[in-house]
Amino acid sequence: MSEFTIGHLIQRKHSDLLQDVNPLFIGHLNDEWTLFFMKDTGIYKRIPESIYDISNTIPVLHFDNAEDHGWSYEIVFKGKSQAKFDYNYEMEDMALYQLALDRYPEEDPVELLYTNPDFEGVRQQLLDELHNSDIYQEQINNLFKECNVEQFSLFEVSAEQIQQLKTIMTPEHEDQLEFMHDLVDQFKEILNLQQMSWINPERLEDDDLELELE
């Protein structure tokens, strides 16, 4: 089973403010961050309306990581999205599949790309073409257009951490990663969110959910 993590985070010093909004769950991730769920927090990426209401008082970081599919974050403050990033790991495969359909309309794209040894080398040829495509490069660039990492200063993240985020949250950095999953690990390490793993509303009763409870 692959990881699925989702939750809302605020600075720990603001934890007491959550009591007024009747959260489903509050737990301290570490000395810096408090994790919480609302009654309308679900196993999906959509940010619940309650989070926008809470953000009128304090900034909220919404984070999710579906290990096999991708990860995302969004910073909400004053009822509005201030920064967001959504990395779909399947983006390349979907674009490659469409390119195979366009280039070889009479062939089965699954056989062409993955299963038929008669097409050996075609997948790499199409992959090279995809990576050199202006349209695909624009898709990659668009991933980072609204990441606005400077907005993490709302959580009193240091200037050094902001600079580290600026270094990794770029298409150039993403392109040189050995494994695409490395980016989320680097992101979590910079922000001291390593404990944000295997956490979601359905696991609140699990004995191995190691959080300091309110």
pLDDT at 116: 84
Name the helix (H) or strand (E) containing 167.
Answer: helix 159-168
User: 33-86 pLDDT, tens per residue?
Assistant: 999 999 888 766 678 889 999 999 999 999 999 988 999 999 999 999 999 999
pLDDT at 45: 66
Half-sphere exposure of 121 (CA within 13 A, CB side): 1
Rounded Cα gap, residues 76 and 80, in angstroms: 5
Q: What is the pLDDT along the chain (214 residues), one digit of tens a residue?
A: 578 899 999 999 999 999 889 999 999 999 999 999 998 887 666 788 899 999 999 999 999 999 889 999 999 999 999 999 999 999 999 999 999 999 999 999 999 899 988 888 899 999 999 989 999 999 999 999 999 999 999 999 999 999 999 999 999 999 899 998 999 999 999 999 999 999 988 877 654 555 554 4
Paired with 34 in beta bridges are 10, 28
Taking CA 17 as the corner, what is the angle to CA 16 and CA 20, rounded to the nearest 5 degrees?
Answer: 105
CA dist 195 → 14, 24, 85, 110 (Å) = 19, 20, 20, 38
212-213 and 25-28 as β-strands: parallel, antiparallel, unpaired? antiparallel
Q: Which residues contact 165 (CB under 8 A, 6 or more apart)?
A: 149, 152, 157, 187, 190, 191
Do residues 152 and 74 make contact, with C-beta atoms less than 8 angstroms apart? no
Q: In the prediction, which pLDDT does 147 show?
A: 98
